[in-house]
Amino acid sequence: MAARDSGPVLVADAGSSSLRLTVFGDEGEVLAEHHSSSAPDEEVSGPLRQLLDEAPAPVAVGHRIVHSGPGLRGHVVVDDDVRALLQDAADLAPLHVPPALTVLDAARDLLPDVPHAACFDTVFHAGLPPAAREYAVPAAWREEFGLRRYGFHGLSYAWALDRTAELLGRDPAQLQVVITHLGGGCSACAVREGRSADTTMGFTPLEGMVMSHRSGSVDPGALTWLQTRHRLSAADIEEALNHDSGLLGLSGTSDDTRDLVRARAAEDERAALALEVFTHHCRRGIAAMAASLDRLDALVFTGEIGEDQPEVREEVCARLTALGLAGGLRTPSADGPEIVSEPAAHVPVIVVPTGEAQQVCHETRRLLRGLAGR
């Protein structure tokens, strides 16, 4: 299998309801792309072939995979053994990993002679300290079943951290920041000296803050009560928490903050409640992450909501004065990372455009350099 770290790289980012394929050049420029608002299925070879016909032949393919499972702790070139380990992770992130594996298999069939890299959202959190990693559950659950906190959105956090360091003129290893990724899934992360010190998501991407149509954390006693008192099955509960909750469950109309901001302005009380609960949980998550730091050098927003929804950023920061934050934020004026707080702000507030695909490309090239050096 050929391996060189220069030349086009195809990045595949498959989600529960979308597919993004992007071919990047050596300088990070986009050479070709395909975006679909439906989840990939067995017909995914069609869009892949079309993109490959339009773009220069890639020297490698990088695949964003949300969960590494217990057997993998770093980004890795995929072979049959790695593919088997990835299958074991599928039920830990059932909305995300199966679609990604569908694309991975199709791409390996179409491009068997180039390296395929699996780049994981969990890797950024692989060094979580024990206090942030372990659940307070019986030892058998932790030791025999492998129940632990993994954390997610790591590719987004790695990209946002490096962009923040560049913007502030600091070494990432010198920074202590909270980064919050707000999109379809939402989480926050405490970054201490370049490493994840804590994060709001845990064993699966369902834990933590309220999300678009995922619940975030719910009292586990309430879930067992639903099973024993109301006879809901585990499948019923999983379906409801993953698909019918969050902003959608609270508003009853939409999981999109843009829709809810407009509806709130039209005096829709359920939309107002959904936004109030959402921003409250954002503040709670950010404050909890700050507790793992000695100081707060910056608060960083990324993800589609974090990047594009000024009302959310304002409502979060204006009520986090205990952390030295304040409202009065500007709307970003550029496509790149930008400080949106006042020049004299005690804690800078920064918006970084989402860069998960770019980070997958970066990590893929890093793996290629390792292969070439053997």
Question: Nearest CA to 14 among 102, 134, 130?
Answer: 102
Q: Which of 81, 105, 109, 121 is the catalytic position?
A: 121
Distance CA 363, CA 267 (A): 46
Q: Is 121 designated active site?
A: yes
Query: Annotated catalytic sites, by residue?
Result: 121
